[in-house]
Amino acid sequence: MSGEESFDIIKKIFKPKSKIEEFKPNTIKYGYIVDGDKIVDEVLVSFFKAPKSFTTENMCEINSHGGTVVMRKILEICIKNGAELARPGEFTKRAFLNGRIDLTQAEAIIDVINAKSEKEAEASALELSGKLSELFKKIKNEVMDILVDIEASIDYPEYDVEEVTNNRTIKTLDIVENELNELEKTFENGRIIKERT
């Protein structure tokens, strides 16, 4: 569960084996999911306090023994106590909207989930790590630096920096072109990996 009320909901349905005053962030507690007085399953519950969670919201995860009947019952109890059923991609959407991940990382998550080969999963995991985002930011900053130099030479022609600006601009544009060419190659490699699987 993720959201402001997730801790309130879990307090209603989780009975820890040892008494705890408050749920501490980044901990795992052992106990039982209960429906009223009835024990449903023996579980471990992980607690993540905002902003230190995937969605940057309060989160808790219930690890049960599994099985369709037990998992369905736990889900029903959560909903009965105020939780809402998440749509596909809901946690990723929340992480994106809350600034935890960027768009390339959000897209990488679906690629990891849908990977059909180990190579495809590895490529997607690399995107998820933020390497692609870092490269985009680097290229953007290099282009922005060029624009700043050009605007400065236009706004302050009396400082005669035109030749320096031209040389720096040409050099930086060559670097940016090489980086974009390398990026294009990785796109092509990624497409080949996806189509071969």
Q: Which of 169, 123, 166, 163 is nearest to 144 (CA)?
A: 169
The per-residue pLDDT for 110 is: 87
The per-residue pLDDT for 131 is: 80
Would you say residue 164 has pLDDT above 80? no
Instruction: Report pLDDT digits (tens) over 9-42.
Output: 999 999 998 776 667 788 899 999 999 999 999 9
The per-residue pLDDT for 117 is: 83
The per-residue pLDDT for 47 is: 93
Instruction: Report pLDDT digits (tens) over 173-184.
Output: 898 898 888 877
**CB neighbours of 153 closer than 8 A, spacing ≥ 6?**
159, 161, 162, 165
From CA 182, how far away is CA 167, in angstroms rounded? 23
Instruction: Report pLDDT digits (tens) over 91-101.
Output: 999 999 999 99
Q: Which H/E stretch holds residue 13?
A: helix 6-13
Would you say residue 140 has pLDDT above 80? yes
CA distance readout (Å), 41 to 16, 44, 85, 158: 12, 10, 20, 78
**Domains present along the chain, CATH in parentheses:** 6-96 (3.30.1360.120), 103-196 (1.20.120.430)
Instruction: Look at the block and give the residue holding tokens 């080969």.
Output: 117
The per-residue pLDDT for 127 is: 78
Instruction: Report pLDDT digits (tens) over 121-131.
Output: 887 787 788 78
Would you say residue 195 has pLDDT above 80? no
